[in-house]
């Protein structure tokens, strides 16, 4: 099992890095769109949709991404980059996503609302997946490949540090009814690691963040909290759906949503701050 996990992790990282650094803008857009379509197909399982309906949801999500791309090629970097166009498109997805993760999800998790198998469930899925898709595309356009790697590394570091601190010092359960393995010590350790990392890498950030330490600290703290929320939110939905993993398409790792749960919550906020301040 461990060998399978390691092999899959290496293959995923290799494929991701090749796509990020080697594909042109259109190719990267296609890559992000495929990931979003697969994530939507998995979201259908969380809604208890079956066979054809799950497939239809994945295809519909891909079609939505294509329509947005065709109608806003400038905003997605497929033509000459226009910061204003990027922000005009982004804010319609990033602002609702920020409200959802900061205000709605904490209440949702406290009350353990079930995910509706209806239009509302579909809308929640689009609010989770589409802003993250757009952020993947626009953050590469705005900051370049290395900047996107540094942003993603923030979430990866939060996960790794939370696991390490939780294993060594974890005593108090964070959300035992949702994810018994997570602890407050792990979450705090992950947050501290993210804040330290963010200040070390601040020179790579937009000037308004790099030059204002209180603002940078606040953004990093919020990102740490939302990263945990993204992970716990998917865990809650899987538990309610009776699923261990969102799918089994990644041997040893589960599904796409299992790998990007924290990214779906953090990337839209990063893009909101990055585009809103840099432009």
Could you tell me the mean pLDDT of each successive run of 10 residues in the chain, 279 residues long?
76 91 93 96 93 94 93 73 72 93 94 92 96 93 88 90 88 87 91 93 83 89 93 93 87 86 93 78
pLDDT value of residue 117:
86
Domain definitions of the chain by residue range = 2-73+84-278
Q: How many Å apart are CA 93 and CA 267, to the nearest integer?
A: 11
- Residue 265: predicted pLDDT: 95
Q: What string of DSSP letters covers 197-245?
A: HHHHTGGGS-HHHHT-HHHHHHHHHHHHHHHHHHHHHHHHHHHHHT-SS
Q: Are 136 and 168 in contact (CB under 8 A)?
A: no
Nearest to 17 by CA among 157, 154, 149: 149
Q: How far apart are CA 275 and CA 140, in angstroms?
A: 12
Cβ pair 157, 134 in contact under 8 A = no
102 secondary structure, DSSP code:
I
Q: Encoding tokens for residue 99?
A: 């409200």
pLDDT of residue 203: 86
Q: Give the DSSP per-residue string, 24-36.
A: -HHHHHHHHHHHH
Tokens 């090749």 belong to residue: 18
- Give the pLDDT of residue 1: 59
Both ends of the chain: CA-CA distance in Å? 46
CA 143 – CA 122 distance, rounded (Å): 31
Per-residue pLDDT, 79? 66
Predicted local confidence at residue 191, as pLDDT: 92
DSSP state of 204: G
Cβ-proximal residues to 171 (8 Å cutoff; 6+ apart), any chain = 183, 185
Torsion of CA 142, 146, 149, 153, to 10 degrees: -110
Task: Give residue 193's pLDDT.
Answer: 94
Question: Could you give the 3-state DSSP secondary structure of residue 251?
Answer: coil
| Residue at token pair 């595309």 | 137
Question: Among residues 130, 151, 141, which one has the least CA distance to residue 202?
Answer: 151
CA distances 244 to 128, 166, 239, Å, are 20, 21, 7
Strand partners, 109: none
Structure tokens at 10: 């290496």
């Amino acid at each position: 099992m461990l060998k399978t996990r390691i092999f899959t992790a290496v293959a995923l990282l290799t494929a991701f890095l090749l796509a990020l650094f080697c594909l042109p803008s259109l190719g990267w857009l296609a890559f992000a769109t495929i990931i979003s379509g697969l994530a939507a197909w998995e979201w259908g399982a969380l809604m208890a949709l079956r066979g054809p309906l799950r497939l239809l949801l994945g295809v519909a999500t891909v079609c939505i991404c294509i329509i947005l791309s065709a109608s806003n090629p400038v905003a997605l970097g497929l033509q000459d980059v226009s910061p204003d166009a990027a922000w005009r498109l982004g804010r319609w997805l990033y602002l609702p996503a920020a409200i959802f993760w900061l205000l709605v999800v904490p209440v949702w998790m406290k009350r353990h609302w079930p995910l509706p198998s209806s239009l509302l469930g579909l809308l929640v899925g689009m609010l989770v997946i589409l802003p993250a898709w757009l952020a993947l595309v626009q953050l590469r356009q705005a900051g370049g490949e290395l900047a996107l790697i540094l942003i993603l590394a923030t979430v990866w570091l939060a996960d790794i540090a939370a696991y390490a601190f939780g294993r060594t010092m974890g005593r108090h359960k964070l959300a035992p009814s949702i994810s018994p393995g997570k602890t407050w010590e792990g979450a705090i350790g992950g947050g501290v690691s993210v804040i330290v990392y963010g200040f070390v890498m601040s020179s790579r950030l937009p000037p308004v963040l790099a030059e204002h330490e209180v603002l940078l600290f606040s953004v990093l703290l919020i990102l740490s909290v939302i990263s945990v929320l993204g992970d716990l939110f998917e865990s809650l939905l899987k538990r309610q759906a009776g699923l261990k993993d969102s799918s089994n398409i990644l041997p040893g790792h589960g599904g796409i949503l299992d790998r990007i749960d924290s990214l779906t919550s953090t990337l839209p906020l990063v893009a909101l701050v990055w585009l809103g301040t840099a432009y």
